[in-house]
Every structure is written in C-alpha cells, then in structure tokens.
Amino acid sequence: MDITPEPIVIGGTEIARGARTTVRLPIAPLYTLADMAMPVHVIRGRRDGPRLFVSAAIHGDEIIGVEIIRRLLGLQLLRKLRGTLIAVPVVNVYGYTARSRYLPDRRDLNRSFPGSASGSMASRLAHTFMSEVVANSTHGIDLHTGAIDRTNLPQVRVSLDIPEAVAMARGFRVPLILHANLRDGSMRQTVLERGVPVLLYEAGEALRLDEKSIRVGLRGIVSVMRGLGMLPKTAPTRGIEPLVARSSRWTRAEESGTLQMTHDIGDLVKEGQQVGTLTAPLGETSRPVISRDSGLIIGKTQLPLVYEGEAIFHVARLDEPDTAQARLSTYDDRLSGWREPVEADH
C-alpha cells in the first residue's frame, strides 16, 4: 500500500525522507516550573509507506513496553524501513517518573481521550498525543501490562469487528487474540474513530521487566511491520494460528484468606475444576478455588493474600478449545528458537 508522500511535521519539526530524529513535545511543567516533555522518536524511510506509531506507558507504571521500544529502536533492520516509525516509549511521563499508573491529578490517561487543548491535565496530554502522533499515523500499536501485582499472558486485544486491526493482530504472532469491547475515553476507541487501525498488546505486570513478554512484543511489532510492507518479508514459514477468544471473565475469591494457586497463566482449565485453595492463617478453614469457566488462564494475581470479592484469575473462553494445548506447545517451541535481529551499536 503506497501512502501519499505528505510532509511529516511533529512538534514543529519536519522529518524528511531518510531522517531519524527525536522530538520532545512540551507538556505541562511541574509546579516547580521544571520543564516536562513527551519524547517521540521518528524514523522515516527513504521510501514512503505506512506510518506506524508504537506507544507505551500510557499507564505510567507499565514499563515493559518502554523496554520493547528501546530494543526496537536499536535494530539494524530499521535501516531498511519503508514508511515511518513513530515511537513514543513514555506517553504518561508524569506517572512514569512517579512509578504510578495515574497522572498527578489521579486521572487515568486512558479514559481521557480525545482530550482538549484547554481541558484537564489528562485531557491536554491526550490532546497532544492525538494531534501530534495519531494525526501523523496510519496504523498503531499500544503496549500494556497487567496492573500492580497482576500478571498477564502475552496477548493481543482488538475489536474483532475491524478486519484491518484483526489482520495486524494475527500478524503479531501471540498465543491469544482476545476480543475487547471499546471503552469510552480510551486511546484505542478514539484512534479507531479517526480511521487508524490499532491493536493493544498485553503482557507481564506493572513495575516489572519480564524477558519473555519483551521478546514476544518485539517479535510481534517486527512481524506486523513486515506484514504492512514496512520491513522486508522473510522466507515463508508455516504460521501458528493464534487462539481466539470472544469473551473472558475473572474468578473472584469467595472469602478472604491465603491463596495457593495450583495453576498458572497459560494453563487450560475446565469449568468446575479446582485451581487452588484458600486457607485461614491458622489453618482452621480451607476452601477450594473453583474455575467459573472453561478456557485459558490469561491473567492472575501475584499476591497470596486476598480479600473476599477480589479478582484472583482471568479466564479467556476459547473459540476452539480442542486444539488449544497443541497450539500453545508449538508456540513456545517456536519462540525458544527465535532470535532477535541484530541490534545497532547506539
């Protein structure tokens, strides 16, 4: 797909063909008057093509995506780029520096889109991202993790009703594609309303780096870029069809206590199956933890201490459960044999 060779201007800086530059978009200064900026790294190939944004840390404590983007920008493979890569490793700069999911005003940036130039702090930050990054993009990938003390299986969340986004999701080469309804005020909903197909990658947990989640994310972005024609295609190989789930649900603790799980993310479970035990501190009571659904565990709490009603594990209901185990095993084998393209020396 050829893209009309319009000028690319971000933060007042025009990026020429073959150029690579970092633009620091000014955002609200601290109340100490220290300047703050959202860093945007732009690589434009010598030939025009799709313009892909890759963003991370819209929730400031979700740091795995920051490392994925760091490694992406170091790939020598990008010397062969066709089109433009717009990388935003830290969208929520304030939350990132404070190790917090939220902005200083306690708003969730991912519920503040499309934003406004004269709105709240969150609204202004969202407006900056939309007007400077999304306005210059034809496709998008947003990187996330689980919340604090929750971990997620590497997965892509996408609206299954948008064919171009689904094609990107299949090209990402993750174990699972999960249908996710659009949420008011989210980046994904707003970007899609602008006609830009976008997918959301979820893996790992907040404030932690996980090597598998990083490698899966990096490989996925490179794979999507190859599929879009932004990077050279590799020799055809037999692909692994990802598992697809149209819905998911958390199982919650029936009472407070100490949780001992016997199953982990990536395990298949059956409805009514025992997957753990809840015990009282002195051992006077013990209660089995039963799965409410059949499917794949895609997220769980990392803490053994839980309150009644607290979400403890997340099950995706699969479209084709009978082939799930074989596909998961094949996926792990393929990942172990994958090697990152060589990184550049900068």
Please give the pLDDT value at position 279: 95
Is residue 78 scored above 90 in pLDDT?
Answer: yes
CB 230 within 8 A of CB 81: yes
pLDDT band at 323 (very low <50, low <70, confident <90, very high): confident
- Other CB atoms within 10 A of residue 234 CB: 9
Chain centroid, CA 274 distance in Å: 30
- Cα pseudo-dihedral 326, 328, 333, 335, rounded to 10: 150
What does pTM read for this prediction?
A: 0.94
Please name the amino acid found at residue 178: L
* Residue 5 confidence (pLDDT): 64
18 backbone φψ class: left, alpha, beta (φ>0; ψ -120 to 50):
left
Give tens-digit pLDDT for 189-221: 999 999 999 999 999 999 999 999 999 999 999
The reported pLDDT for the residue numbered 329 is 79
Give the residue among 61, 89, 25, 37 at the shortest CA–CA distance from 221.
89
Q: Is the pLDDT assigned to residue 257 strictly greater than 70?
A: yes
Report domain 8-227's class: alpha beta
337 band by pLDDT with thresholds 50, 70 and 90: low
Mean pLDDT of the chain: 93
Q: Model confidence at 87, in pLDDT bands (50, 70, 90)?
A: very high
3-state secondary structure (DSSP) of residue 212: helix
- Percent with pLDDT over 70 in the chain: 93
pLDDT of res. 333: 63
pLDDT for position 125: 98
Alpha carbon 187 to its chain centroid, in Å, reads: 12
The C-alpha atoms of residue 321 and residue 335 are separated, in whole angstroms, by 21
DSSP labels, 90-149: -S-HHHHHTT-SS-TTS--GGGS-S--TTS-HHHHHHHHHHHHTGGG-SEEEEEE---TT
Distances from the Cα of 7 to the Cα of 13, 31, 48, 140, 240, angstroms:
10, 36, 11, 19, 38
pLDDT tier at 344, thresholds 50, 70, 90 = very low
Predicted confidence band of residue 15 (pLDDT cuts 50, 70, 90): very high
Domain 248-332 matching CATH 2.40.50.100: the answer reads: yes
Residue 284: predicted pLDDT: 80
Contact 318, 324 (CB under 8 A): yes
Domain chopping of the chain, boundaries: 8-227, 248-332
pLDDT at 160: 94
- pLDDT score, position 281: 87
What pLDDT is stored for residue 237 in this prediction?
Answer: 64
Record the tokens describing residue 13, joined without a space.
């800086």
Per-residue pLDDT at 330: 75
| pLDDT greater at residue 345 or residue 84 | 84
The mean pLDDT value for 173-200 works out to 95
The model's pLDDT over 141-152, given as tens digits with 9 standing for 90+, comes to 999 999 999 999
Overall average pLDDT of the 271-286 stretch: 91
